[in-house]
Amino acid sequence: MDENRHHRLRARTLKGLQLFALFIAMCFICIPGLWVVLNSFRPTVEIMAKPPVWIPQDLNLDHYRAMFGGVGEGGVPVLRYFTNSLIISVTSTVIAILVGMAGGYAFARYQFKGKAAIFIGLMLTRAVPGVALSLPLFIVMARTGLIDTHIGLILVYVSLNVPFTIWLIDGFFRQVPVELAEAAEIDGCTRWQAFWKVEFPVARAGVASAGIFAFLTSWNEYALASQLTRSTFSKTMPVGLRDFTSEFTINWGGMCALAVLMIIPALILTFLVQKHLIAGLTFGGVKG
């Protein structure tokens, strides 16, 4: 009896330590984001105070009013930047998912010459840092007249996201038994109907996960966008953050306000597809 009680006490102690360690880790992760949100509502004097003012004394919407053209620092074309980011991110994500589904399904279901070499080649392209591609991409886009255009940035993001989406979707379709499609074809379905009505619904959570990662990559990307955009016509929100910097000063409050606006769509999208995202990340982890 004493041994069982000691075992339960030890298990509870370990669980308590794990929860405490998780709480500390979450604090380190969340505090910077919380600090950005607070700074978007604080006056510049309080943001720049030394020593730092940890507890806000005066919260207001001045930075948001100024950012949208109110009195103060002058308006930054936030709505234009938001529209650019939305068009570029959504379009590149849709194209990357369509190509990724076709490629991932082909790698998962079919055998063809050079399959392994092509797959490894795609993965190697994803291993190259985006910054290393900035100069060759700039030269190519300049010669084709795609600098400072939506189409140019969409093509770049599609090329960056396709290898990852193919790899991720390939893994999910490998978890779908091929016998499901074969049974559907025996029952009279065409190959396309078997895919769309039988295989795709099973792997839909994985496709949603790939879409989320592709969207966030395009939405938050800065290095390539800063090189390939020039005017407000094509600048995205991460690049628009530079509008709050000048030769001698940085408008930290305005930058934090724009950062908060950047976070909101990503949070909304994540919450909307949270069920599919969790299911996709755990797909194939538990077998019935």
Q: Which band of pLDDT confidence, cut at 50, 70 and 90, is reported for residue 95? A: very high
In this structure, what token pair is assigned to residue 261?
């606006």
Burial bucket for residue 12 (CB in 10 Å: 0-12, 13-18, 19+): exposed
Phi, psi of 128 (to 5 degrees): -75, 125
Q: Which whole number is the average pLDDT over 248-276?
A: 81
DSSP secondary structure, 116-171, as one string: HHHHHHHHHHHHS-GGGGHHHHHHHHHHHT-TTSHHHHHHHHHHHHHHHHHHHHHH
pLDDT confidence of residue 282: 55
pLDDT confidence of residue 286: 41
Q: What pLDDT, in 10s, does the model give residues 47-85?
A: 888 887 788 788 888 888 777 764 445 567 888 888 999
Q: Cβ of 41: how many Cβ atoms within 10 Å?
A: 19
pTM listed for this prediction: 0.81
Do the beta carbons of residue 253 and residue 63 sit within 8 Å? yes
DSSP secondary structure, 42-108, as one string: S-HHHHT-SS---S-S---SHHHHHHTT-SSS----HHHHHHHHHHHHHHHHHHHHHHHHHHHHHHH
Do the beta carbons of residue 76 and residue 243 sit within 8 Å? yes
Q: Which whole number is the average pLDDT over 125-154?
A: 87
Q: Which of the two residues, 175 and 236, has the higher pLDDT score?
A: 236
pLDDT confidence of residue 275: 67
Highest-scoring range by mean pLDDT, 90-94, 180-184, 247-251, 258-262: 90-94
Q: With a cut of 70, say whether residue 202 has pLDDT above it.
A: yes
Share of the chain above pLDDT 90, in %: 15
Kindly state the DSSP code that residue 245 receives in the 8-state scheme. B
Domains and CATH numbers, the chain: 2-67 (no CATH), 78-281 (1.10.3720.10)
